[in-house]
Structure 1
Amino acid sequence: MQPVRLLFLLLLPGCTLTPSIDPSSVFSGPLRYQQSSAGLGRSFTPWWKSFGDSRLDRDIRKALADNLAQKQLATRIEQASASLRREGAALFPQVDLAGSLDYDSIDPGNSLKAASFGSLLSWEVDVWGRIRSGVQARQSERDAAFQDWLGGRLLLSAAVAETRMTILERRAQLVVLKSQIETNTTLLELVQARVGQGISSRVDLLQQERQLDATRALVPPTEADLAAALYALDVLTGSAPGTLSRGNRASLPALPAMPAAGIPSDLLKNRPDLLAQWNRILALDAEVGQALADRLPRLVIGASIDRGSFDGIASTITGLISEATLPVIDGGARRAEVELRRARLKEALLAYSNLYLEAIRDVETALIRERKQAERIRLSKRQLDTARKTLEETRIRYSQGLSDYLPVIDALTAVQTLELSIVALEREALVLRIGLHRAIGGPMTPTPPPEFSS
Structure 2
Amino acid sequence: MNRTCKISTLALALMLGMGLTGCSVGPDYHKPDVITTPAFKEAKGWSQARPQDDLSKGPWWALYQDSELDKLLRQVVISNQNVAQYEANYRQAQALVQQAQASLFPSLSGNAGVTRKGTAQSTDNTYTAGLATSSWELDLWGKIRRGLEQYQASAQASEAELANITLSAQSSLAQYYFQLRVLDARIALYEQSIQAYERYVTVMGNRYRAGTESRAGLAQAQTLLESTRASRLDLQLQRAQLEHAIAVLTGQPPARFSLPAQPQLVLHIPTPPVTLPSQLLERRPDIAYAERNVAAANAAIGVAQAAYYPDLTLSASAGFESSVLQDLISLPSRTWSLGPSLSGTLLDFGATGAQVKQAEAAYDASVASYRQTVLEAFAEVEDYLVAVDTLQQQLAVQQRASEAAKESARVTLNQYKAGMIDYLDVATTQNTSLSQQQSVLSLQASLQVASVNLIVALGGNWQGLTTH
Fold equivalence (TM over 0.5)? yes
Unaligned runs of 5+ in 2: 47-55
Contact persistence 1:51–1:253 (CA under 8 A): no
Letter in 2 for 1:91: L
Separation in 2 of the partners of 1:261 and 1:433?
15
Counterpart check, 1:17 vs 2:25: yes
Q: Kindly state the Cα deviation for residue 389 of structure 1 after the two structures are TM-superposed.
A: 2.7
What is the aligned counterpart of 2:69 among 56, 64, 73? 56
Letter in 2 for 1:120: A
Q: Look up the SS of the partner of 1:323 in the other structure.
A: strand
Judged with a 3 Å threshold, the aligned counterparts in structure 2 of structure 1 residues 406 and 267 are, in CA distance, closer, same or farther, namely same
Aligned to 1:364: 382
Aligned to 1:347: 365
What is the aligned counterpart of 1:394 among 412, 415, 440? 412
- Within 5 Å, give how 1:360-439 maps onto structure 2: 360-439=378-457
Aligned to 2:52: none
Q: Look up the SS of the partner of 1:411 in the other structure.
A: helix
Judged with a 3 Å threshold, the aligned counterparts in structure 2 of structure 1 residues 409 and 415 are, in CA distance, closer, same or farther, namely same
Cα displacement string for residues 285-334 of structure 1 (whole angstroms, at most 9, x for unaligned residues): 11111222232232222212253346999743312212223433222222
Judged with a 3 Å threshold, the aligned counterparts in structure 2 of structure 1 residues 290 and 351 are, in CA distance, closer, same or farther, namely same
Counterpart check, 1:36 vs 2:43: yes
Aligned to 2:53: none
Aligned to 1:234: 247
Judged with a 3 Å threshold, the aligned counterparts in structure 2 of structure 1 residues 148 and 445 are, in CA distance, closer, same or farther, namely farther
Counterpart check, 1:176 vs 2:189: yes
Q: Look up the SS of the partner of 2:103 in the other structure.
A: helix
TM superposition score normalised by structure 1: 0.87
Judged with a 3 Å threshold, the aligned counterparts in structure 2 of structure 1 residues 189 and 38 are, in CA distance, closer, same or farther, namely farther
- Within 5 Å, give how 1:10-409 maps onto structure 2: 10-12=18-20, 14-21=22-29, 26-36=33-43, 45-97=58-110, 103-104=116-117, 107=120, 110-112=122-124, 114=126, 116-121=128-133, 122-244=135-257, 246-259=259-272, 266=279, 269-309=282-322, 315-409=333-427
Judged with a 3 Å threshold, the aligned counterparts in structure 2 of structure 1 residues 20 and 306 are, in CA distance, closer, same or farther, namely closer
Contact persistence 1:35–1:367 (CA under 8 A): yes
Unaligned runs of 5+ in 1: 447-454
Separation in 2 of the partners of 1:6 and 1:54?
65
Contact persistence 2:281–2:458 (CA under 8 A): no
Q: Kindly state the Cα deviation for residue 56 of structure 1 after the two structures are TM-superposed.
A: 0.8
Q: Kindly state the Cα deviation for residue 357 of structure 1 after the two structures are TM-superposed.
A: 0.9
Contact persistence 2:276–2:462 (CA under 8 A): no
Letter in 2 for 1:14: G
Q: Which moved more, 1:373-382 or 1:186-195?
A: 186-195
Separation in 2 of the partners of 1:425 and 1:139?
46
CA RMSD of aligned residues (A): 3.1
Contact persistence 2:320–2:334 (CA under 8 A): yes
Judged with a 3 Å threshold, the aligned counterparts in structure 2 of structure 1 residues 268 and 211 are, in CA distance, closer, same or farther, namely closer
Cα displacement string for residues 318-355 of structure 1 (whole angstroms, at most 9, x for unaligned residues): 12212223433222222221111111011000001111
Judged with a 3 Å threshold, the aligned counterparts in structure 2 of structure 1 residues 280 and 61 are, in CA distance, closer, same or farther, namely same
Q: Kindly state the Cα deviation for residue 284 of structure 1 after the two structures are TM-superposed.
A: 1.2
Separation in 1 of the partners of 2:22 and 2:226?
82
Separation in 1 of the partners of 2:39 and 2:119?
90
Aligned to 1:451: none
Q: Kindly state the Cα deviation for residue 103 of structure 1 after the two structures are TM-superposed.
A: 4.9
Q: Look up the SS of the partner of 1:218 in the other structure.
A: helix
Judged with a 3 Å threshold, the aligned counterparts in structure 2 of structure 1 residues 445 and 236 are, in CA distance, closer, same or farther, namely farther
Q: Look up the SS of the partner of 2:438 in the other structure.
A: helix
Q: Look up the SS of the partner of 1:388 in the other structure.
A: helix
Aligned to 1:449: none
Contact persistence 2:21–2:142 (CA under 8 A): no
User: What is the percent sequence identity of the aligned residues?
Assistant: 24
Judged with a 3 Å threshold, the aligned counterparts in structure 2 of structure 1 residues 144 and 38 are, in CA distance, closer, same or farther, namely closer
Q: Look up the SS of the partner of 2:141 in the other structure.
A: coil
Contact persistence 1:49–1:57 (CA under 8 A): yes
Contact persistence 2:138–2:311 (CA under 8 A): yes
Q: Kindly state the Cα deviation for residue 115 of structure 1 after the two structures are TM-superposed.
A: 5.1
